[in-house]
Amino acid sequence: MSPLDVSVTASGTDTVVTVCGEIDLAVSDGLRQTLEDELRFTPAALIADLSAVTFCDSTGFTALVQIRAKAEESRVPFILVTQERALLRPMSLLGLDAVFNVHPTLDSARDALSR
């Protein structure tokens, strides 16, 4: 099993799910479930901080796309935070950079929400 460390920080302005490690078949369902659970609280915004994710396979991207759709249905902004080439390159190749709202830092994501 791949190690994945996930923590959740909720505030009045957003909920941040911070993820560290590798997202693959062994952990993608758990990550999707964590994000879904947070969406049930209808936060002002849901931010997945993937800054410390070093790998993401197709099951991970599928889980993120599913969460994006559920967030859109709930009218909750869903933002990804990463500067990692290991995520940005496959997102670009798959055309997901046009699907996801991606910011390089948590501060820039929060700034975008406040505008």
C-alpha distances out from residue 107 to 49, 56, 82, Å: 11, 23, 12
- What's the pTM value of the predicted model, to 2 decimals? 0.95
Residues 6+ apart with CB under 8 A from 78: 45, 46, 47, 48, 67, 68, 71, 72, 100, 101
pLDDT of residue 2: 60
Give the pLDDT means over successive 10-residue stretches in the chain (115 positions). 85 96 95 97 98 96 98 98 96 95 98 92
Residue listed under structure tokens 């993937």: 50
The answer to whether 81 and 47 have CB atoms below 8 angstroms apart is yes
User: Parallel, antiparallel, or unpaired for β 15-23 and 4-10?
Assistant: antiparallel
The answer to whether 64 and 46 have CB atoms below 8 angstroms apart is no
pLDDT of residue 3: 73
CATH number for the segment(s) 4-110: 3.30.750.24
